[in-house]
Amino acid sequence: MKRKHVRKFYLEWAEGRLDAKQRRAVEEHLQNCPGCREYFRKMSAIFSDKADLSALPTLQPDPYLPARIKALAGAAARRSRQQGRQWAGAFRWAFSALALSLAVLAGIYLGKGLATNAAQPYSETQLLSDYYQAFARQSYSDAWESLLSEENATGQQWDEERQ
């Protein structure tokens, strides 16, 4: 320890955490080294209860710190929004691809069902029934006229009952 400085041992020395051999070596070094002795003296003066801390340099707060923080927060928010837009675009593409895949799978599933039904032979009565349902139904105008005529008849009956 004679050739090395012992400044790094100050805290342990001041708190009494050095064993006897280390403490003796530090004190011998302090007798021979004026730099370390001055360092230990100043540190002891600072950490003592009667220390005059007015001689220590004081830190001055940066007057522009709030503006700098706001600028950094604004930049971070802009980056976040930009990344959010990028993720939204990627999400749209992923959602579109998923929807297309589901539509294709649904088409395949429904197509298999139609193929299964087409494999079963139609009976003549079922074919005629399907034909009738497709072509012989009432048109919308006919259905509307019948509905209006029923309503007029019901309305006239109600008027007669009221009188």
Q: Residue 6 burial (CB < 10 Å; 0-12/13-18/19+)?
A: buried
Instruction: Classify residue 40 as exposed, middle or buried by CB count within 10 Å of its CB (0-12, 13-18, 19+).
Output: buried
Q: Which two tokens stand for residue 33?
A: 């080294």
More confident site: 121 or 22: 22
For the stretch 86-98, pLDDT in tens is 777 777 888 888 9
pLDDT > 90 fraction of the chain, expressed in percent and rounded? 17
Contact 35/10 with Cβ under 8 angstroms?
Answer: no
Q: Looking at the predicted structure, is the pLDDT value of residue 1 above 50?
A: no
Q: What is the mean pLDDT of residues 115-125?
A: 63
- Say what the pLDDT of residue 6 is: 86
- The domain ranges of the chain are 7-50
Confidence band of 64 (pLDDT split at 50, 70, 90) = very high
Strand extents, DSSP E, the chain = none
Go through 123-151 and write b for each residue having 16 or more CB atoms within 10 A of its CB, e for each that does not: eeeeeeeeeeeeeeeeeeeeeeeeeeeee
Name which of 73, 100, 97, 103 is nearest 89 in CA terms.
97
- Mean pLDDT, to the nearest integer, of 58-82? 87
- Which one-letter DSSP state was computed for residue 64? T
Share of the chain above pLDDT 70, in %: 66
Backbone φ and ψ for 2, nearest 5 degrees, come out as -70, -35
- What average pLDDT does the chain have? 77
Angle between helices 34-47 and 20-32 (to 10 degrees): 110
| Confidence at 145, pLDDT banded by 50, 70, 90 | low
Average pLDDT rounded to a whole number, residues 101-115: 79
